Amino acid sequence: MPIRQLSETMINQIAAGEVIERPASVVKELVENALDAGATRVEIVTAGGGLNLIRVSDDGSGIPEKELALAIARHCTSKLADNIHDIRSLGFRGEALPSIGSVARLSIRSRTASSENAAEIGIDGGRVSAVRPAAANRGTTVEVRDLFFATPARLKFMKGERAEGSAIGDVVKRIAIAFPAVRFTLAGPDRSTLELPATEDSPEGRLRRVAQVMGADFPDNAIAIDAVRDGVHLAGHVSVPSFTRANALQQYAYVNGRPVRDKLIAGAIRGAFADVLPRDRHAVTVLFLTLDPAIVDVNVHPAKADVRFRDPGLVRGLIVGAIREALAHAGIRAATTGAAGMMAAFRPGAASYAHGGPANGHRSYEAAYRASGFAGFDPARSPQRPLDMGSANGGFGEDEQAAFDAGPLHSADARAGQDQAAETLLGTALGAARAQVHENYIVAQTRDSLVIVDQHAAHERLVYEALKNALHSRAVPSQMLLLPEIVDLPEEDAERLAMHSETLARFGLGIERFGPGAVAVRETPSMLGETNVQQLVRDLADEIADNDTVGTLKERLDRIAATMACHGSVRSGRLLKPEEMNALLRQMEATPGSGTCNHGRPTYIELKLADIERLFGRR
Ligand code: ADP
Ligand code: MG
């Protein structure tokens, strides 16, 4: 066949293959256009999972009648002047409308503020109709019917009405989070109506929009993030570590207001939470990055959801640093979900109380407990061997131990002093210890609440924090292996490990190349004791391959430290004296991040006196 120029429709259908993957992509493009036009209201109607009908109406600037034909022509846009490095709108490629029009039946009805009446144009599987007059208010309504009727092959890949319909819901929610001042509605015979009333373009307004989308309990369990580094601004919210999900779907990221799915951002979030979450739990996050458009490239893929940062290290460092700092500042703060669930559980079958209904009172407790990350903790994964903490890090943990070894008070004076001290303790965050029950739970009292502490989980966290400090403040002691252990690996992995050997050495792992496709390990960190070197090295190679930054190696060692801390801490079952209990509470107050254990479970639960009184019908 001789070379020939493809027809306009063919070219558009080829582009549609990338731009319009499924009905949700159409919704995304049309909503982006409405927002670029300055809309304050966006109404979306779908039928048949968007395959039969998608209609998006807005009250934006509208399209002048004489530009309607251009709007559906390829490579025609009102958004890009001459500089591809200065993109401030969601759209810029000028290919969404012609792409949709080449695979579906598209019509656009629009009216600008300055024109008396509206005009309409249609494009049907690539065939354009003449512009005709129409009746409409200011703004634009775009209707798409019979999506993919012109490309039946693509139609076969659709997942069914329900799945496509819910993908549309996700797209709308994702974009709505970035535009809190815009009112969105999503309705149709194929769904229950989603209504997102306008809030405002402020941090509070944004959080209210997030709550509309993610549920009212998110703000109660969220920590604000706000940080700037080298002109890059990061704002938003992340969940406290006891408020997690089994997947990362509730992690929303925006770059200059554009929803993105970015591996770098996802990796940074994982890194920031590595300390406080088990690997299979995920924080809920909403993060907005704002930076000079010239230092981020959005022209990576036609769907515009991928970005490339000129300085990925800067962005990663900013995200990891800001989240970690916010987590540390948030200090003691367990998820309210735990306490709320507990309250619900106290009232099995109660018809009117708080969060659960009569039917789900107990279930919601379980759900809350699961949400708190408990299910992610697998004791079987912890090493069996007890560790010699002392020799591992040069006397770590003496303070903690001393607190636990303090003798009991005997004299009457001392007792009086103790009572007085207890009185002042009521004013502290975790209060005065009153009792230990079931040999693991410290019951304490503040002025207006009852606090229950899981002593094992809490102490484990304290040990972990101390261990981590030792790890990062000086080189970690290592032990020589009698015989170097040879680990066979894919050549790329061996190469990567060798490249990072200096860092590994700092953490006590002595590693060097051993011919092609192998490394020799001569030393291991002594705090690991007798470890499975093969597994350790392979895991490290995977880590480096996944993230290829030195930072993540530290995070990995932090995780190892977490596992060790589990074995170096006060076991449940140990009876504590009052002073020991109070010492533990004070240390928790002083230690950032001690509100959750290393597995993301809360270390304590606080019940407000007011809530307890309500349980007893006193309020
Ligand atoms: P892009 O958004 O990349 O410019 P599109 O094909 O999505 O490309 O849209 C083409 C043009 O049509 C836009 O540049 C804009 O001028 C106009 N347009 C599309 N939708 C709307 C709308 N809802 N309101 C106002 N103008 C619109
Ligand atoms: Mg567009």
Query: Three-class SS string for 285-330?
Result: EEEEEECCHHHEECCCCCCCCCCEECCHHHHHHHHHHHHHHHHHHH
Cα 48 to ligand 1 centre (Å): 25
Ligand found nearest the CA of 74: 1
302-318 mean pLDDT: 90
Res. 21: pLDDT tops 70: yes
Cα 153 to ligand 2 centre (Å): 25
Res. 241: pLDDT tops 90: no
Neighbour count for residue 519 (Cβ, 10 Å): 23
What does the pLDDT read at residue 543?
65
Query: Is domain 475-565 annotated with CATH 3.40.50.180?
Result: no
The token duo for 398 is 């003496």
To test the pocket of ligand 1, the residue of 35, 76, 78, 111 to mutate (highest count of ligand atoms within 8 Å of its CB) is 78
Atom of ligand 1 nearest to the CA of 93: 3
- Residue with the two structure tokens 């061996």: 494
Q: What percent of the chain has pLDDT over 90?
A: 43
Residue 471 pLDDT grade (very low, low, confident, very high; cuts 50, 70, 90) = low
Res. 567: pLDDT tops 50: no
Provide, for the chain, the percentages of residues in helix, strand and coil under a 3-state DSSP scheme, each rounded to the nearest 5: 40, 20, 35
How far apart are alpha carbons 489 and 198 in whole angstroms?
Answer: 55
Indicate if 475-565 has the same CATH topology as 8-196.
no
How far apart are alpha carbons 192 and 352 in whole angstroms?
Answer: 26
Q: Which residues line ligand 1 (CB under 6 A)?
A: 29, 33-34, 37, 58, 60-63, 71, 77-79, 91-97, 140
Q: 82-86 long-range contacts, Cβ below 8 Å, gap at least 24?
A: 84/299, 85/293, 85/294, 86/293, 86/294
Atom of ligand 1 nearest to the CA of 92: 3
Residue 341 pLDDT grade (very low, low, confident, very high; cuts 50, 70, 90) = low
What does the pLDDT read at residue 347?
46
The token duo for 340 is 């709320």
Cα 268 to ligand 2 centre (Å): 30
Cα 375 to ligand 2 centre (Å): 43
What does the pLDDT read at residue 23?
97
Cα 39 to ligand 1 centre (Å): 12
Residue 428 pLDDT grade (very low, low, confident, very high; cuts 50, 70, 90) = confident
Closest alpha carbon to 289 in 225, 234, 326:
234
Query: Is domain 215-329 annotated with CATH 3.30.230.10?
Result: yes
275-280 mean pLDDT: 77
Res. 36: pLDDT tops 80: yes
Residue 541's alpha-carbon distances to 200, 470, 471, in angstroms, are: 46, 24, 20
Residue 516's alpha-carbon distances to 49, 487, 491, 493, in angstroms, are: 54, 11, 6, 11
Those residues whose C-beta lies under 8 Å from the C-beta of residue 76, and which sit 6 or more positions away, are: 70, 94
pLDDT: is 562 or 499 the higher one? Answer: 499
What average pLDDT is seen over the chain?
A: 80
Closest alpha carbon to 119 in 139, 145, 97, 146:
139
For ligand 1, atom 21, the nearest C-alpha belongs to 33
Query: Identity (one letter) of the amino acid at 382?
Result: S
What does the pLDDT read at residue 371?
33
Atom of ligand 1 nearest to the CA of 139: 24
**Residue 120, beta-bridge partner list:** 109, 132
Cα 3 to ligand 1 centre (Å): 33
Query: Is domain 8-196 annotated with CATH 3.40.50.10860?
Result: no
Cα 269 to ligand 1 centre (Å): 34
Closest alpha carbon to 378 in 280, 291, 476, 460:
280
Res. 519: pLDDT tops 90: yes
Closest alpha carbon to 147 in 23, 18, 19:
23
For ligand 1, atom 10, the nearest C-alpha belongs to 71
Res. 392: pLDDT tops 50: no
Atom of ligand 1 nearest to the CA of 61: 25
The answer to whether the CB of 465 falls within 8 A of the CB of 603 is: no
576-603 mean pLDDT: 82
The token duo for 480 is 């020589």
Ion ligand 2: residues, CB within 5 A, are 33, 91, 96
Res. 353: pLDDT tops 60: no
Residue ranges per structural domain of the chain: 8-196, 215-329, 336-372, 475-565
Closest alpha carbon to 224 in 271, 266, 287, 270:
287
Atom of ligand 1 nearest to the CA of 98: 6
How far apart are alpha carbons 76 and 516 in whole angstroms?
Answer: 54
The answer to whether the CB of 460 falls within 8 A of the CB of 490 is: no
Res. 118: pLDDT tops 60: yes
Residue 412 pLDDT grade (very low, low, confident, very high; cuts 50, 70, 90) = low
Helix (H, G, I), strand (E, B) or coil at 453: strand
Helix (H, G, I), strand (E, B) or coil at 223: strand
What does the pLDDT read at residue 70?
95
The token duo for 471 is 């790890």
Helix (H, G, I), strand (E, B) or coil at 420: helix
**Residue 486, beta-bridge partner list:** 520
What does the pLDDT read at residue 557?
63
Across 329-333, 343-347, 444-448, 489-493, least confident range:
343-347
The token duo for 252 is 């929303």
What does the pLDDT read at residue 128?
96
Closest alpha carbon to 279 in 599, 609, 20:
599
Residue 314's alpha-carbon distances to 255, 319, 462, 496, in angstroms, are: 14, 9, 31, 22
What does the pLDDT read at residue 30?
98
CA atoms within 13 A of residue 10's CA, in its CB half-sphere:
4
pLDDT: is 404 or 47 the higher one? Answer: 47
